[in-house]
Structure 1
Amino acid sequence: MPSSTPVVFVHGLWVHSDAWQSWMEVYREAGYEPIAPGWPGDSPTVAATRQNAAAVADRGLEEITAGYLRVIDGLDVKPIVVGHSFGGLIAQKILAGGHAAAAVAVDPGQIKGVKPVPFAQIRSGFPVLAKPGNKKRAVALTEKQFRYAFGNALPKEESDALFARWAIPGPGKPLFEASTANFSKSSPAAVDTEKSDRGPLLIIGGGKDHTVPEVVAKAAYKLYARSGATTDYQSFPDRGHSLVFDHGWREIADFTLTWLKRQGL
């Protein structure tokens, strides 16, 4: 592939796309052309998104995925897609749909077919799932809730600083869609895990992740066993859900770059 291969970064729930800034710099230095579009309804900045939370309400996985596909349609070649949390789920959907050359799914949101539902995951999603009406609302985490869901493997001071810098309200709908995926025949959280003519996929799990416990990431990886396409898994045992934008982000970014090089990308 040419050195100008585009890379589309997909953020997860409750974190603004600007949190990918450091990754974009490293990927650009490595010869890629990175972009980090927001979800539909996101404003260009963290502050503006917080002030206009209603704009992100009632946005589901299909609409969010479609927003990224519109961006990809405007590119000259198929991109590499790197997603975190629900962004990792969306990256898998984009890859399976034939719209990406490869995908990296970091602590990916639960796809249909994944059965483990650890207590930590339930507690992390409780601020949304506790109220059925949140399915159509935008929900923001408190500093304490962010600490449990994202920053539990960090000193409190760092978790609070990340919350202040990157946290935004997010739509409740994707959480409801993922949590009911195994009971729905046509769930938007479904991914064709048996597809053999797709590009390579790397799934990364964090051993201390509360929002997407590693058992969930591993279960997603195992669903790809029947696919003849390259599917790799990497664990970072001491990392929580903030691993792509906390002080240790570079270790994760460098690993993904090494993996892409091994794939000839």
Structure 2
Amino acid sequence: MTAPLPVVFIHGLWLHGSSWQPWIDLFRSEGYEPSAPGWPGDPDTVEEARQNPESIADHGIDDVVEHYAHLIAALPRRPVLIGHSFGGMIAQKLLGQDRAAAAVAIDAAQIKGVLPLPLSALKVTFPVFKNPANRHRSISLTEEQFRFAFGNAIPEEESTGLYERWSIPAPGKPLYEAASANFNPHSAAKVATGNSGRGPLLLISGGKDHTVPESVTRATLKQYRHSEAVTDILNFPDRGHSLTIDSGWRDVATTVLDWLREHSPEEGR
């Protein structure tokens, strides 16, 4: 009997991997085998991550990709990857390397070749870029900064609750790597977008996202124009960067499940 299809959830900056737990419960109920391993250096809990921020520091994009590639290699089947923010970029890189059966990139950080740099995104990253030494440090967001970056499309009380429950420090290095990607031919943010043999990809954007505005996701789609593989895009016009963790998460999750039923391997489910 074929093992259930694994689903690996990949978090982005400033959120702990445990923030995927509602998705894990839902996907398991649908017959998948889900998990949400953290980035290299991530402690097991939110509280530990806050108490030991340097354990997370100085991990770059390639470090994270290799970390997940190692985890994927131990699975019985190539998984579906579902990533949010920088996790969405990581999922795209791994899919381009043929390490996944399919991938969903939600509000994914910009890959090499994406040119739009909206002002709201610059404001979100200012706490990191204001000091060049932050490239090798881990940086936390204040509650106010989290609200602008994640919780702008939800009530302030809900944003505060999410900040208190899920926010952790994040390494500055991936942001520096993404910012210089278009000036570096060997950038870690480069994705094999021309791979026509890869599995299907779904890009999801939030229309009110300050961190990864819809224009960035549309520009990401254009990077795949030379690939014959399935590349779809969906927009949630009234959602911000918190769309995977706020009270409307299930709408996004069920949309992903519907897409996977059409586009991912079904054997063993």
TM-based fold match above 0.5:
yes
- How much has 1:153 moved relative to structure 2? 0.3
- How much has 1:226 moved relative to structure 2? 1.0
Unaligned runs of 5+ in 2: none
- How much has 1:13 moved relative to structure 2? 0.2
Q: Any conservation in 1 of the 2:102–2:264 contact (CA below 8 Å)?
A: no
2:224 is paired with a residue whose SS is: helix
Q: Per-residue CA shift, 1:15-34, capped at 9, x if unaligned?
A: 00000000001100110000
Distance in 2, matches of 1:235 and 1:154, equals 17
Structure 1 runs (4+) greater than 2 angstroms displaced: none
Aligned to 1:116: 116
Aligned to 1:125: 125
Q: Any conservation in 1 of the 2:198–2:229 contact (CA below 8 Å)?
A: yes
Q: Per-residue CA shift, 1:112-163, capped at 9, x if unaligned?
A: 0000000000001111011111000000000000000000001100000000
Indicate yes or no: 2:228 matched with 1:228: yes
Aligned to 2:59: 59
Aligned to 1:259: 259
TM-score computed with the length of structure 2 as normaliser? 0.97
Unaligned runs of 5+ in 1: none
Letter in 2 for 1:85: S
Letter in 1 for 2:16: H
Distance in 2, matches of 1:263 and 1:127, equals 39
Indicate yes or no: 2:151 matched with 1:151: yes
Aligned-CA RMSD value: 1.0
- How much has 1:224 moved relative to structure 2? 0.6
Aligned to 2:167: 167
1:48-127 correspondence runs (5 A):
48-127=48-127
Letter in 2 for 1:158: E
Distance in 2, matches of 1:134 and 1:72, equals 30
2:225 is paired with a residue whose SS is: helix
Distance in 1, matches of 2:27 and 2:2, equals 14
TM-score computed with the length of structure 1 as normaliser? 0.99
Matched residue count:
265
Q: Any conservation in 2 of the 1:3–1:32 contact (CA below 8 Å)?
A: no
Distance in 1, matches of 2:106 and 2:163, equals 19
- How much has 1:264 moved relative to structure 2? 4.3
Q: Any conservation in 2 of the 1:3–1:31 contact (CA below 8 Å)?
A: no
Letter in 1 for 2:31: G
Alpha-carbon distance change, 25 to 263 in structure 1, aligned in 2, over 3 angstroms:
same
